[in-house]
Amino acid sequence: MEAQEHNEHTQEKKMLPPPVGTFQTREELIKHVRDFALTQGYMVSIRDSSKDRYVTLACDRGGVYRKRLKTGENLRKRKSESRLTNCSFEVVGKKDDDIWILSIKNGVHNHEASNDTSDHPSCRRFSEEEVKIIRELTAAGKRPRQILKALRQKNPNLVSDSRNVYNVKAKIRREMVSGKKMGSSGGVATTLTTLSEPMVQNGVAGTGSSQAYLERKAVTDTRALAAELCRHFYTLGWFSGTGGSIAIKVHDDAIPKPSQLIVTSPSGVQKERMVTEDMYVLSSDGFILLAPVLKAYPHMPPQCTDCAPLFMKITHMEMIKGIQGHSYHDELVVPIIENAAHEGELIESLVEAISIYPKTTAVLVRNHGVFIWGGSWISAKTQAECYHYLFDAAIKLHQSGLDWTTPSHGPICNVNGFRGCGGNYNRALKAGPLSLNYMTEPSQHCILLDIEGTIIPISFISDVLFPYTHDNVEKHLAATYDSEETQIDISLLRSQIETDLERGITGAVPIPPDYVGKELVIGSVVENVVAMIKNGRKVAALKQLQGHICRTGFQRNQLVGVVFDDVAEALERWQNSGIKVYIYCSDSREAQQLLANSNYGDLRKYFCGYFDTTVGNKEEIRSYLEILRMVGVDKPTNILFVTDIFQEASAARDAGLEVMMSIRPGNAPLPQNHGFRTIESLLEI
């Protein structure tokens, strides 16, 4: 009787077992079961298997939750109810000769049908092709939500979310450290082979053993060559103390070129002191196979260059050739791409430039440097020497008031829209060195600027942006609630509020879980945002949401960034002097670029990069050390930091940077005897 009632209950839910039958392959059988299971509201996973004999598929809600570790008061407890119900549903596939036969062992479930395929962990797993896409976009510096968007464009039925992307990215980071490669199922497989004969597996050469191959003469010679070239390029002035990188393929006739290993120099290491052991060895698809040994203080821990993804992309392009087909009368075009705060973000621009100009073997990065490559290290070195000569000649012609773009090298008639020789503009180029008498050349190579109280008046933030956020937060959340971006914003705020509640922060109220309903969640988020604004909080969760709200205002021309009157002129002067300018602000990088659309026009062209609190808190020394590493200057004093906050200035000074304090209307007063030089205008620099 009980069994009959249970069967009737199951039939009512329409959770039927898959139709039995025969199949040509094991994979075909498994796909048949899983596809049918989804139509019934359940999913199966492999419980037991012998690849050439049988496979047992069971309901993914089978089994029971097992308490993990410790006992008594220290017992680890789940924060949510387990989805396991000890369901006994099970089907079996057995191989008979060359045919796989499906049979039902237990076709009954003990739970309700699922209404959402995302409830099943197996449905949220990525395929091998999807893992490959995540790997490539991760190397390109893309964020999880950007990667997820790309995956959904390729597969609209994808049910995975950002958390699943985060998990895969975390495994990729771990495998980069361990030199192992992750499979599509999330497991790990070794990258190197252990066969006795030379061969290629997963793009990596193996012979005898992985370590044995890495110690072969071809690899060690290439590492030695890379170190030698780093030292040589330093003496030529092409590399700074820690700036600049090199990558060379390990030539091995036994290995196809696309699969040969790559040797690359580390980041943040003094190039004039490079030795063989400092070089990294990468697989053809970018895995770290051999890393430098950690050296004693004061040496920094070794780090693979941020250019590695760019080197990988260049090595796989088919346009690697010499500067050939060019004669004296031909035009040599070197494309220029815009700079980014992180070199990994240059990949798309680099590939696009190479595609548009297939003959080029060099790409200039504005306010940063140049990438040069060739079919061999000799070819690349020769081309670098040629480009250096051509670039140097062009600069000297330009400084002499001559047009380097024409064979006649006549006087410059127009430069960047300014009238040159023959005109009356007071900055006209004259014979001899470029004249910039109206300013004193600073000793710093880079300037790092705060936004609030330095570039933009505090009153613009407090009287314009905060009120706009206050007035539009509820409208924004209601309109975008179901978007991935807003769900991430709410998740970050929920985490922040949990911390605030533990610390007893005034105004913090719990944000309920999503299942209570959209209106209640939005109401509590609005209440917290209003309290944070009132209390002057500068937490990342608030700044990110505020940036997304204000983005709409800028796009609709409801907001225009207001900068001090001296800012635009100062930025232009610094750019003309070859000084790189960066932003470091608690606002998100996206919000910083929105503010650059100002009452003086779009100022983004003057900035080489943007840093936010993802590099660290602005009042912590390590944040400025990280920026030093990322910018790649010779020494900390080559960066001048300008801010209005005493604690930020102190942290930057302790990190070795030059610091100036900005005195602007509305800024908070500075402590007496603060010890910093102050300015009231950026034109004073």
Residues 111-158 have pLDDT tens digits of: 888 877 666 776 767 777 788 888 777 766 677 777 888 888 777 777
- How far is residue 501's CA from residue 360's CA, in Å, rounded to a whole number? 58
Lowest mean pLDDT among 49-58, 421-430, 443-452, 498-507: 421-430
Confidence grade of residue 173 (pLDDT, cut at 50, 70, 90)? low
- How far is residue 196's CA from residue 210's CA, in Å, rounded to a whole number? 11
Mean pLDDT of 405-418: 46
282, 315 contact by CB (below 8 A): no
Q: Which residues are catalytic?
A: 318
- How far is residue 525's CA from residue 562's CA, in Å, rounded to a whole number? 29
- How far is residue 462's CA from residue 460's CA, in Å, rounded to a whole number? 6
132, 168 contact by CB (below 8 A): no
Q: List, in sequence order, every residue forming a beta bridge with 106; answer none if it has no partner.
A: 90
pLDDT for position 241: 60
pLDDT for position 642: 97
pLDDT at 78 over 60: no
pLDDT for position 181: 44
Q: Provide the CB-side half-sphere exposure for 161 (13 A, CA).
A: 13
pLDDT at 413 over 50: no
pLDDT at 25 over 80: yes
pLDDT at 218 over 50: yes
pLDDT for position 140: 60
Mean pLDDT of 669-682: 92
Q: Residue 297's CB: how many other CB atoms inside 10 A?
A: 5
pLDDT for position 410: 52
Mean pLDDT of 251-271: 79
Lowest mean pLDDT among 12-21, 125-134, 335-344, 439-448: 439-448
pTM > 0.75: yes or no: no
Question: Rounded to the nearest 5 degrees, what angle is found at the Cα of 594, between the Cα atoms of 588 and 597?
Answer: 150
Q: H or E element: which one contains 106? A: strand 99-106
pLDDT at 5 over 90: no
- How far is residue 290's CA from residue 302's CA, in Å, rounded to a whole number? 12
**C-alpha distance from residue 146 to each of 370, 379, 494, 598, 609 (Å):** 27, 37, 22, 27, 20
pLDDT for position 168: 81
Choose from 2-11, 22-31, 304-313 the range with maximum mean pLDDT: 22-31
pLDDT for position 428: 29
**C-alpha distance from residue 462 to each of 20, 467, 526, 666 (Å):** 68, 7, 18, 10
pLDDT at 91 over 80: yes
From the list 238, 312, 309, 227, the residue with the least C-alpha distance to 269 is 227
Mean pLDDT of 201-218: 56
Confidence grade of residue 354 (pLDDT, cut at 50, 70, 90)? confident
pLDDT at 392 over 60: yes
Share of the chain above pLDDT 70, in %: 75
* More confident: 220 or 122: 220
Choose from 108-117, 193-202, 213-222, 452-461 the range with maximum mean pLDDT: 452-461
pLDDT at 676 over 90: yes
**C-alpha distance from residue 504 to each of 35, 490, 497, 542 (Å):** 50, 20, 10, 18
pLDDT for position 655: 93
What tens digit of pLDDT does each residue of 591-647 get? Answer: 777 766 788 888 888 888 888 887 888 999 999 998 887 777 778 999 999 999 999
Tokens representing 302? Answer: 């070794």
pLDDT at 40 over 70: yes
Mean pLDDT of 295-310: 68
Confidence grade of residue 164 (pLDDT, cut at 50, 70, 90)? confident
Average pLDDT of the residues of the chain: 76
pLDDT at 543 over 80: yes
Confidence grade of residue 331 (pLDDT, cut at 50, 70, 90)? low
pLDDT for position 618: 92
Q: List, in sequence order, every residue forming a beta bridge with 678; answer none if it has no partner.
A: 661
